[in-house]
């Protein structure tokens, strides 16, 4: 089977499945064989530091071969009977190992839970099953969705980070190991990893996608979203996973019907947070970002510079996440299992415990500031169809090693403590206030690493962000560039 099939978008794969050019079983076997040949899960949740990946990306914790082939056979039988459940029908996907999968181990990326086998599916897994998609693998992540233990390598360059958290999902997607993926984001865990490898990834509006059955890191910040090889992929996937779920307190009943045609961009208004263009020292990178804006301007989009307010986003994240995580993981501390966390995470665990000690008044103060920020940010974004900034100002950083662990140059969980203009401010604000954000590749840095922009829209206007992303990708092919993977001599 041609290698290029591995890199097709969701709509291209769906077309081939619908026409009978390829069966779901063939497609699933193709991805499984490629994954097992190139990236078999060596990732046995090591409790000891390990930096030698022997050229493997380490994107998968578990490959569910039997489950995948059974699902694919069912998908084929339904197609033969004339029943096509959705555009995802028969397409194999990987899900971050934070979402429960019935009968398939779900580790949350931690050795503590290496043998945890749920007896239920997360709501998103049920929805994808209902849509006919084929679950093939559980994807690697930083322990407990941490951004620091970058588990999967970057398919563009082995010595670069893929950030942490959703790193397995995004790296596998770009390396043609899965048809599409599902990630999660609390403060940047979809868009930052996606930016480091050049994947298209969407953080949906907070509350659009049920978190039931997904490990909670922060109830008031967690989101689940799609990762694909195009903005259009993300829209198709989102359409299948959204929906009200009474079992998730924050879930909202706002239907989403994806429109794959972005329509005319003429007269659309794009707010640019220009200050973030200056976060890079590289003239080349700034030029890449500017050229991307030029693409929209040529379509008739009105591009205007905007200012975003300075808030203590680092302090807000630290307070909200440590208090909520400290509460979520209380039992791990009480029964001593926290001692089994990876050594690199010891400071993080201590932060959670400190969060538990924090007076309620401080937590409420953080949530009051967040409320004020939400109103201000909503007002700014509402003046535009979307606002935009580099997702990350530079290409993926060298994988530093600390205590034996490879880590990114800056942990996404650690925006500076001070109120600091030198941060990807749009991302942190959008995450705090629940705005949707789409990562789209827009070029490469001088070392050949992807550079990306994040398109942020008003709450529940996920389609607006997707429209701008799809129109950009119809005029450019950055999202279709493939990494030099596998590294064959």
Only one of the segments 93-101, 415-423, 448-456, 474-482 lies at the binding site for another protein (rule: CB under 8 A); that segment is 415-423
Compare residues 246 and 357 and give the one whose CB is closer to another protein. Answer: 357
Q: Does 452 bind another protein (CB under 8 A)?
A: no
Stretch (H or E) spanning 467 = helix 462-475
Q: What is the C-alpha to C-alpha distance for residues 374 and 320, in angstroms, rounded to an integer?
A: 15
Q: What is the three-class DSSP state of 17?
A: helix
282 binds another protein (CB under 8 A): no
Question: Given the complex with another protein, which of 282 and 374 has the nearer CB atom?
Answer: 374
Could you identify the residue written with the tokens 């064989």?
33
Q: Could you give the CA distance from residue 338 to residue 344 in angstroms, rounded to a whole number? A: 12
Given 358, 474, 481, 482, the residue binding another protein (CB under 8 A) = 358
According to the binding rule CB under 8 A, does residue 419 interact with another protein?
yes
Among 102, 282, 365, 476, binds another protein (CB under 8 A): 365
Q: 237 vs 315, which CB is nearer to another protein? A: 315
Restricted to residues 156-185, the positions that interact with another protein (CB under 8 A) are none
**67, 138, 370, 410: residue in contact with another protein (rule CB under 8 A):** 370
| Nearer of residues 290 and 372 to another protein, judged by Cβ | 372
3 DSSP assignment: G
Q: Which is nearer to another protein, 261 or 307 (CB)?
A: 307
Nearer to another protein, 137 or 221 (CB): 221
DSSP-derived secondary structure for 193-210: HHHHHT-EEEEPPTTSS-
Rounded distance between C-alpha atoms, residue 406 and residue 437, angstroms: 27
Is the CB of 271 or the CB of 436 nearer to another protein? 436
| Contact residues for 365 (Cβ-Cβ < 8 A; gap 6+) | none
Kindly report whether the peptide bond that precedes residue 486 is cis, defined as omega within 30 degrees of 0.
yes
Report the residue number, 229 or 435, with the smaller CB distance to another protein: 435
* Dihedral, 178, 255, 425, 368 alpha carbons, nearest 10: -130
User: Could you say whether residue 459 binds another protein (CB under 8 A)?
Assistant: yes
Q: Which residues contact 79 (CB under 8 A, 6 or more apart)?
A: 17, 18, 20, 23, 24, 89, 90
**205-264: contacts with another protein (CB under 8 A):** 205-207, 220-221, 249-250, 252-254
CA 233 – CA 312 distance, rounded (Å): 34
Asked if residue 351 binds another protein (CB under 8 A), the reply is yes
Q: Which of 160, 30, 158 is nearest to 90 (CA)?
A: 30
Residues with Cβ within 8 Å of 6's Cβ and at least 6 positions away in sequence, in order, are 30, 31, 34, 176, 177
**How does strand 180-185 pair with strand 200-203?**
unpaired
The token duo for 217 is 């890191």
Closest among 88, 467, 473 to 261, alpha carbons compared? 467
- Closer residue to another protein in complex, CB, 192/460: 460
- Helical residues (DSSP H) of 213-344, grouped into ranges: 231-241, 283-298, 313-328, 330-334
Tell me the CA distances in angstroms from 19 to 16, 26, 69, 83, 173, one per residue in order.
5, 14, 20, 13, 24
Q: How many residues of this chain interact with another protein, rule: CB under 8 A?
A: 53
Selected from 4, 372, 382, 422, the binder of another protein by CB under 8 A is 372
Q: Kindly tell me which residue out of 369, 426, 440, 452 binds another protein, with binding defined by CB under 8 A.
A: 369
In the complex with another protein, the residue whose CB is nearer, 144 or 392, is 144
Please check whether residue 159 is in contact with residue 200, taking contact to mean a CB–CB distance below 8 angstroms.
no
For the CB of residue 459, give the shortest distance to another protein in the complex, in Å.
Answer: 5
Q: Which is nearer to another protein, 45 or 369 (CB)?
A: 369
- Judged by CB under 8 A, the residue of 37, 347, 477, 489 near another protein is 347
How far apart CA 284 and CA 265 sit, in angstroms, is 27
The minimum distance between CB 261 and another protein, in angstroms, equals: 26
Q: How far is the CB of 129 from another protein (least distance, A)?
A: 27
Residue 420 Cβ vs another protein, minimum distance, rounded to whole Å = 11
Binding mask 303-342 for another protein (x = CB under 8 A): --------xx-xxx-xx--x----------xxxx-xx---
**18 makes contact with another protein (CB under 8 A):** no
Interacting residue with another protein among 180, 277, 405, 460 (CB under 8 A): 460
380 lies in the binding site for another protein (CB under 8 A): no
**Burial environment of residue 216 by CB neighbours within 10 A (0 to 12, 13 to 18, 19 or more):** middle
Q: Which is nearer to another protein, 18 or 350 (CB)?
A: 350
Q: Which residues in 43-62 contact another protein (CB under 8 A)? A: none
> Which residue in 117, 354, 421, 480 binds another protein (CB under 8 A)?
354
Sites of contact with another protein (CB under 8 A): 205-207, 220-221, 249-250, 252-254, 311-312, 314-316, 318-319, 322, 333-336, 338-339, 346-347, 349-351, 353-359, 362, 364-372, 374, 417-419, 434, 459-460
């Amino acid at each position: 089977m041609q290698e290029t099939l591995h890199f097709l978008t969701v709509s291209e794969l769906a077309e081939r499945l619908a026409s009978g050019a390829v069966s779901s079983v063939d497609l699933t076997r193709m991805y499984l064989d490629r994954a097992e040949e190139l990236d078999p899960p060596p990732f046995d949740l090591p409790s000891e530091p390990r930096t030698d990946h022997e050229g493997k990306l380490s994107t998968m914790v578990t490959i569910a071969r039997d489950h995948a082939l059974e699902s694919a056979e069912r998908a084929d039988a339904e197609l033969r009977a004339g029943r096509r459940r959705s555009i995802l029908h028969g397409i194999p996907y990987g899900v971050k190992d934070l979402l429960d999968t019935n009968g398939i181990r779900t580790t949350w990326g931690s050795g503590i839970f290496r043998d945890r086998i749920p007896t239920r599916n997360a709501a998103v897994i049920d929805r994808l099953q209902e849509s006919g998609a084929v679950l093939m693998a559980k994807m690697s992540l930083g322990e407990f969705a941490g951004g620091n233990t970058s588990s999967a390598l970057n398919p563009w360059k082995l010595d670069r980070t893929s950030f942490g958290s959703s790193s397995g999902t995004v790296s596998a997607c770009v390396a043609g190991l899965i048809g599409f993926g599902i990630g999660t984001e609390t403060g940047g865990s979809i868009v930052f990893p996606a930016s480091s490898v050049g994947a298209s990834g969407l953080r949906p509006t907070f509350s659009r996608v049920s978190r039931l059955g997904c490990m909670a890191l922060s109830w008031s910040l967690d989101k689940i979203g799609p990762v694909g090889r195009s903005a259009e992929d993300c829209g198709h996937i989102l359409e299948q996973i959204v929906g009200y779920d009474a079992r998730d307190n924050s879930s909202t009943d706002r239907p989403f019907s994806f429109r794959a045609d972005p329509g005319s961009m003429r007269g659309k208004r794009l707010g640019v947070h220009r200050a973030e263009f200056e976060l890079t020292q590289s003239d080349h990178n700034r030029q890449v970002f500017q050229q991307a804006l030029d693409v929209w301007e040529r379509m008739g989009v009105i591009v205007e510079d905007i200012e975003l307010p300075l808030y203590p986003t680092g302090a807000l994240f630290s307070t909200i996440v440590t208090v909520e995580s400290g509460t979520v993981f209380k039992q791990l501390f009480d029964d001593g299992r926290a001692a089994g966390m990876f050594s690199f995470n010891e400071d993080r665990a201590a932060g959670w415990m400190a969060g538990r000690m924090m007076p309620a008044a401080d937590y409420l103060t953080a949530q009051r500031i967040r409320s004020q920020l939400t109103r201000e940010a909503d007002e700014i974004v509402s003046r535009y169809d979307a606002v935009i900034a580099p997702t990350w100002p530079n290409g993926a950083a060298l994988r530093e090693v600390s205590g034996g662990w490879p880590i990114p140059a800056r942990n996404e969980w650690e925006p500076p403590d001070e109120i600091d203009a030198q941060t990807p401010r749009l991302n942190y604000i959008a995450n705090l206030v629940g705005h949707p954000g789409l990562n789209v590749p827009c070029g490469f840095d001088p070392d050949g690493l992807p550079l990306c922009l994040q398109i942020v829209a008003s709450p529940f206007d996920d389609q607006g962000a997707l429209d701008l992303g799809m129109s950009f990708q119809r005029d450019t092919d950055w999202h279709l560039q493939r990494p030099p993977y596998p590294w064959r001599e």
